[in-house]
Amino acid sequence: MSLRPGWFRRASFVPAHQNHGPHRRTVRDDEDQYSIWPATIAVPGGWHLEGTEGSRADRLAHIDEIWTDMRPRSLRERMAATG
């Protein structure tokens, strides 16, 4: 396969965090782990809307405030059960 000179200059690469507009939602999985997700895209399976929306920076700041225990829920429950 031969690549034409300059093919890469015509390609349009956009960082993933800029692809779908500036609005983000905070999402949480079943293990109480948090992430942000573009508001224009359906939330993938296994993730649930946490209920807040805003800019990427606002959502990351919100997650920093509420996600104080990074351990997955199953690990926290197992550790609590073994005392």
Does this model's pTM top 0.75? My answer is no
Q: What is the pLDDT of residues 5-47, one digit of tens each?
A: 544 444 444 455 555 677 999 999 999 999 999 999 999 999 9
Q: CA–CA separation, 7 vs 66, rounded Å?
A: 45
Q: Which residue type does 33 have?
A: Q
Structural domains of the chain in order of their starting residue, each with its CATH number: 19-82 (3.90.820.10)
The 3-class secondary structure across 49-60, one letter per residue, is EEEEEEEHHHHH
Is residue 34 a contact partner of residue 28, using CB atoms and an 8 Å limit? yes
How many C-beta atoms lie closer than 10 Å to residue 83's C-beta?
4
Better pLDDT: 5 or 79: 79
Return the pLDDT at 16: 53
41-47's contacts with Cβ under 8 Å and 24+ in sequence apart are none
